């Protein structure tokens, strides 16, 4: 195909803020996990597919299969749709309190 560009699993985009490898990042409606460190505005490779251990709201119980959203202000995963961006589903349970949950990312549209 002459018009094929790339698979799209990893996207090189400008960092929306300073990022460390493993940080979640939201660029417009595209969510990904930083594959390396980047300064604000610098190009960073974001991984947009796969399962990642992500920081969550500590006082939140999550069940396997729960839809998960990214709170871009707090930089945490939660279950609140309003004002947040859907990023995936939980593939592990996470108790209240706990700091992380494993998230299967869904492709951004």
Q: What is the pLDDT of residues 64-107, one digit of tens each?
A: 999 999 999 999 999 999 999 999 999 999 999 999 999 999 98
Is the pLDDT score of 109 beyond 90?
Answer: no
Domain ranges (residues) in the chain = 10-105
pLDDT of residue 1: 84
- As a whole number of Å, the end-to-end CA separation of the chain is 22
Strand-pair partners of 70: 77, 85
- C-alpha 36/C-alpha 7 separation (Å) is 19
Geometric angle at alpha carbon 48, from 53 and 46, rounded to 5°: 90
- Hey, what CATH topology would domain 10-105 get? Virus Head Decoration Protein; Chain: A, (2.40.300)
Tokens 């069940």 label which residue? 63
């Amino acid at each position: 195909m002459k018009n094929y560009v790339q698979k799209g699993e990893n996207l090189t985009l400008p960092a929306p803020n300073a990022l460390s490898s493993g940080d979640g990042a939201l660029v417009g409606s595209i969510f990904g996990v930083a594959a390396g460190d980047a300064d604000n505005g610098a190009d960073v490779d974001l991984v947009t597919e796969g399962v990642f251990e992500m920081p969550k709201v500590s006082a939140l119980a999550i069940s396997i299969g729960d839809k998960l959203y990214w709170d871009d202000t707090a930089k945490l995963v939660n279950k609140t749709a309003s004002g947040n961006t859907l990023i995936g589903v939980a593939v592990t349970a996470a108790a209240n309190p706990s700091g992380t949950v494993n998230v299967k990312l869904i492709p951004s549209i």
